[in-house]
Structure 1
Amino acid sequence: MSFEAFMKQNALQKENEEIVISDRFKNPDGSNAKWIIRPLGSEEHSKLRSECLSIEGKGRKTIQKFDQQKYMCKLAVSGVVEPDLHNKELQDSYGVMGAESLINKMLYAGELDKLVEGIQEISGIGKDFNELVDEAKN
């Protein structure tokens, strides 16, 4: 095996994907609007996760607490290409400021779950080892 297969210029890049997360958002022709999502790199994902950790307690009785809702919002905002969640006009239409506030106001719980699941899937987050081995074989 050659190390050249692992060189940056030889690594395949995943493309952005289009997904439908809800039938509530319609295009002018009546078809379901698609969201464009992108894969997150390991470094970006690690930073995002660390932003959702907090330490509670004092002295020897400290625990790390992970804020799952904050993580889902940050993951969604990081992984969505379109619609532009930073667009002021879109935020104004929901009466919020900021992309995380927008995603919380804009989506129902199940829609956010579906969006996050899509971003995790395209990023390879949550795949178990056997799935990765099978994928590598193909």
Structure 2
Amino acid sequence: MSKLKSFLKGNVKQIENASLKLERFDEAIILRSLESREGDVISDQSFKNKPGKKGKQERVFDAIKYNRDICVASIVHPDLGDVELQESYGVRGADNLYSVMFSLGEANHILEKVTELSGLDEDINDHIDEVKN
């Protein structure tokens, strides 16, 4: 029973937010890791129905939408939902703001940091090799 205690919510180590400094901005952006359930919702919303063979609808995964949405969900600061910030870029909605606020290179840096924070950058095969040894 004592081994179970390390999995109780009060005993789990929290993942710290991370700051990412982008050259064009005076302040760093603050990112948080995503919980599995958040990733599940974003993943589910990243499927689109497209016409397939013989007119049947096929569910197709949109990786670009998925990557953008996990980045938007991970940004703590600045608040992409802030109306004043959205108005300054002439858009409405956090996802639209993200798309115009950050350059392609900046968006890639954000995605790299988010995947690192959320543990998506780890190769499962590395862990399998460790266990085998």
Tell me which interval the TM-score lies in, with the shorter structure as reference length.
Answer: 0.7 to 0.9
Between the aligned partners of 2:78 and 2:53, the Cα distance in structure 1 is 45
Identity of aligned residues (%): 34
**Which whole-Å CA distance do the structure 1 matches of 2:127 and 2:74 have between them?**
21
* 1:48-87 aligned within 5 A: 48-57=42-51, 62-87=57-82
Q: CA deviation at 1:130?
A: 4.8
More helix by share: 2
- The one-letter code matched in structure 1 to 2:41 is K
Deviation at 1:56, TM superposition (A): 2.6
Moved more, 57-66 or 73-82: 57-66
Distance in 2 of aligned mates of 1:106 and 1:72: 16
Q: What are the residue-to-residue correspondences of 1:51-130 with 2, within 5 Å?
A: 51-57=45-51, 62-130=57-125
Name which of structure 1's ranges 120-129 and 92-101 shifts more when overlaid on structure 2.
Answer: 120-129
Number of residues of Structure 1 aligned to a counterpart in Structure 2: 129
Q: CA deviation at 1:12?
A: 0.7
| Separation in 2, partners of 1:4, 1:134 | 28
Q: Which residue of 1 aligns with 2:18?
A: 17
Alpha-carbon deviations, 1:61-115, whole Å to 9, x = none? 5543111221122111100000111111111110001110000011111111111
Q: Which whole-Å deviations, capped at 9, do the CAs of 1:22-65 have from their partners, x for residues lacking one?
A: 21112xxxxxx211000100011111111001233368855431
The corresponding residue for 1:43 is: 37
Structure 1-normalised TM-score? 0.82
The whole-number CA distance in structure 1 between the counterparts of 2:46 and 2:128 is 30
Give RMSD over aligned pairs: 2.4
In 1, the alpha carbon distance for the partners of 2:80 and 2:113 equals 17
* Contiguous gaps of at least 5 residues in structure 1: 27-32
TM-score for both structures, normalised by structure 2: 0.84
The aligned counterpart of 2:7 is 6
Alignment gaps of 5+ in structure 2: none
